[in-house]
């Protein structure tokens, strides 16, 4: 239900202002919203679900006196049933088939609401699909029950949802509520996450996925080819097969689509990511408690030097890091279609590295010219990459430091891809001011980042926020609002956030003033 609408206090007599507004909003929403409109209040829930659901009522928790709440609902045109023992007021809103359930709570102000949908099908397959789709939308199981006529499954999220299914559905209810030891299992699963990380890293180091590229192999064959002990390799493969990395057929192993990402030659291969996340960066996480207590970089605390000092002194790790970073760039090919590219003009990729993103943009805009701007030792590969991508004749490489040197001026579009999350606000402000100084009025800046979004619940940006705290000196992910404020403080207005895979996004900002 929508919140925060201005409702005159006299519209809802007899209760406190906050509850007044909440009741009025709820009644208005129940009266006016159909199933599609109600479903739109559930972030990430596909609109197509409305074909199999009916929005039947809303539930609301407020603080106040039961008598005052009843009087307020009557004044809003609700036919109220007598309150139950638990101080739950139910009623039907006049002029529509939907109802409203209000829990009146004592004590400090309550704030909660839930939308209730009833499935319009009895098909078990479709009901399982509805349940799975709501989980995929980021909602979390929050209990359920069977009341004789229907089975209710509750979900918690930015908007709480109750899904009512016709008749008893014991199997789906058990799946939703989970076994009696669910909390213990969930905590054990969290605590053993390190085992999964190291298991994936181990088979990546052994090159098992490459050996399975041509088809299934036995444990003995894989052990002989990797120099591993057969019985111990079998344990490792069995564990990873249970996690969906391999298919198991007796003692023969083959790749799943997940496991195929560990092949060296896979498009977007994550082999080097697995190796560095399960190796160098894995060891950095032993310093997590230190950085939470004392600040600073956990990497530096554990390894004795800052990350890029370590890479300068350890060429093998530097090559691994470069491979790992390349593994995370597969989404860059999708960036150009999210940009409003002019037919002609200039694009500057600030901190553009080897020029792959600029190459993708120039490939999508044949009338554009481009500039890669980065430090001299970084851009040395840019010319070769841009030539390989077929756009070298429309691009140039300019060496410079975005903290100290002028950014190439007068372009129509500027790019900053995965730069902001490396730096604290003060450093980012220096970068943004230098970019803004180069931008003519109306020019666009596109940030490619992994924002933390309240409207898009996901643990991945939050996980990377901790990763950046551990393995960089200043880095961290930001919320969309933090990006907005940082841009505004440096003469730029955030206009849009456009989604990319893996919770990445293009944040489109425009020069102002």
Q: Please answer whether residues 433 and 386 qualify as being in contact, where contact means their C-beta atoms are separated by less than 8 angstroms.
A: no
Q: Which tokens in the block code for residue 27?
A: 């009644």
Pairing of strands 395-399, 368-374: parallel
- Residue 347 has phi, psi (to 5 degrees) of -120, 130
Residue 6 has pLDDT above 50, yes or no: no
The more confidently predicted of residues 321 and 97 is 321
At 112 the pLDDT is 62
Query: Does 9-178 match 330-511 in CATH topology?
Result: no
Stretch 292-315: mean pLDDT: 94
Q: Please answer whether residues 77 and 25 qualify as being in contact, where contact means their C-beta atoms are separated by less than 8 angstroms.
A: no
HEC assignment per residue over 57-74: EEEEEEECCHHHHHHHHH
d(CA 161, CA 179): 21
Tokens 């209990």 map to which residue? 143
Domain spanning 330-511, CATH class: alpha beta
Q: Please answer whether residues 346 and 368 qualify as being in contact, where contact means their C-beta atoms are separated by less than 8 angstroms.
A: yes
Angle separating helix axes 425-438 and 480-488, nearest 10 degrees: 50
Span 482-497, pLDDT tens digits: 999 999 999 999 999 9
Sheet containing strand 217-218, strands side by side = 217-218, 252-255, 246-249
d(CA 161, CA 169): 18
Q: Which range, of 19-23, 275-279, 301-305, averages the lowest pLDDT?
A: 19-23
At 95 the pLDDT is 66
Domain spanning 9-178, CATH class: alpha beta
d(CA 395, CA 382): 10
Residue 328 exposure: Cα atoms within 13 Å on the Cβ side: 19
**Which residues are CB-neighbours of 55 under 8 A, at least 6 positions away?**
33, 34, 35, 37, 38, 39, 98, 115, 116, 117
Q: Which range, of 75-89, 137-151, 205-219, 292-306, averages the lowest pLDDT?
A: 75-89
Domain boundaries, the chain: 9-178, 191-278, 284-327, 330-511
Span 318-345, pLDDT tens digits: 889 988 887 767 788 899 999 999 999 9
Grade residue 353 by pLDDT with cuts at 50, 70 and 90: confident
Q: Please answer whether residues 262 and 204 qualify as being in contact, where contact means their C-beta atoms are separated by less than 8 angstroms.
A: yes
At 179 the pLDDT is 79
Strongest mean pLDDT among 67-71, 280-284, 372-376 = 280-284
Span 220-233, pLDDT tens digits: 999 999 999 999 99
Q: How far is CA 102 from CA 68, 86, 346, 410, 422, in A?
A: 12, 11, 58, 59, 47
Residue 5 has pLDDT above 90, yes or no: no
**Residues 57, 131, 234, 421: which is the catalytic one?**
421
At 435 the pLDDT is 97
**Which residues are CB-neighbours of 32 under 8 A, at least 6 positions away?**
none
Task: Please give the CATH topology (third level) of the domain spanning 191-278.
Answer: Arc Repressor Mutant, subunit A (1.10.10)
Q: Please answer whether residues 244 and 298 qualify as being in contact, where contact means their C-beta atoms are separated by less than 8 angstroms.
A: no
Span 403-458, pLDDT tens digits: 999 999 999 999 999 999 999 999 999 999 999 999 998 899 999 999 998 776 68
Q: What is the pTM of this model?
A: 0.71
Any catalytic annotation for residue 87? Answer: no
Surface-to-core class of residue 132, CB atoms within 10 Å of its CB (0-12 exposed, 13-18 middle, 19+ buried): exposed
Tokens 């990395």 map to which residue? 245
């Amino acid at each position: 239900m929508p919140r925060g609408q201005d409702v005159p206090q006299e519209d809802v007599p007899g209760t406190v202002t906050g509850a007044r507004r909440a009741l009025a909003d709820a009644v208005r929403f129940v009266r006016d919203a159909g199933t599609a409109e109600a479903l739109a209040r559930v972030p990430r829930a596909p609109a197509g679900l409305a074909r199999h659901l009916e929005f039947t009522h809303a539930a609301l928790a407020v603080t106040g006196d039961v008598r005052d709440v009843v009087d307020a609902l009557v004044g809003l045109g609700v036919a109220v049933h007598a309150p139950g023992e638990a101080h739950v007021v139910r009623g039907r809103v006049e002029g529509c088939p939907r109802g409203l359930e209000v829990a009146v709570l004592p004590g400090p102000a309550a704030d909660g609401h839930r939308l209730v949908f009833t499935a319009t099908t009895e098909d078990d397959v479709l009901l399982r699909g509805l349940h799975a789709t709501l989980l995929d939308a980021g909602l979390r199981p929050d209990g359920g029950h069977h009341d004789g006529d229907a089975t209710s499954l509750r979900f918690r999220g930015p908007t709480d949802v109750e899904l009512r299914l016709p008749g008893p559905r014991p199997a789906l209810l058990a799946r939703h509520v989970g076994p009696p030891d669910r909390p213990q299992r969930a905590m054990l699963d969290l605590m053993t996450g390190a085992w999964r990380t190291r298991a994936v890293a181990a088979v990546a180091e052994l090159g098992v996925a490459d050996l399975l590229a041509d088809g299934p192999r036995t444990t003995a064959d894989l052990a002989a080819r990797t120099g591993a002990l057969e019985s111990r390799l079998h344990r490792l493969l069995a564990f990873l097969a249970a996690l969906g990395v391999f298919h198991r057929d007796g003692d023969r192993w083959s790749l799943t689509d997940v496991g195929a990402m560990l092949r060296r030659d896979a498009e977007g291969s994550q082999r080097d990511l697995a190796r560095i996340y399960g190796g160098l960066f894995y060891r950095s996480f032993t310093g997590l408690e230190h950085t939470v207590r004392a600040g600073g970089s956990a990497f530096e605390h554990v390894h004795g030097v800052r990350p890029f000092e370590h890479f300068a002194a350890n060429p093998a790790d530097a090559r691994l890091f470069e491979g790992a970073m390349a593994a995370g760039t597969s989404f860059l090919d999708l960036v150009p279609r999210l940009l409003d590219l002019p037919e002609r003009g200039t694009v500057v990729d600030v901190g553009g590295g080897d020029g792959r993103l600029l190459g993708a943009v120039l490939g999508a805009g044949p009338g554009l010219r481009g500039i890669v701007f980065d430090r001299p030792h970084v851009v040395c590969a840019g010319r070769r990459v841009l030539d390989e991508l077929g756009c070298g004749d429309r691009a140039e490489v300019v060496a410079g430091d975005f903290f100290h040197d002028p950014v190439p001026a007068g372009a129509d579009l500027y790019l900053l891809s995965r730069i902001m999350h490396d730096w604290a606000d003060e450093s980012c402000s220096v970068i943004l001011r230098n970019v803004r100084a180069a931008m003519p009025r109306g020019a666009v800046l596109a940030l490619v980042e992994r924002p933390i979004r309240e409207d898009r619940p996901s643990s991945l940006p939050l996980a990377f926020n901790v990763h950046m705290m551990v393995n960089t000196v200043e880095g961290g992910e930001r919320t969309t609002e933090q990006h907005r404020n940082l841009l505004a403080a440096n003469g730029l207005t955030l206009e849009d956030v456009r989604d990319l895979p893996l919770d990445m996004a293009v944040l489109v900002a425009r020069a102002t003033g």
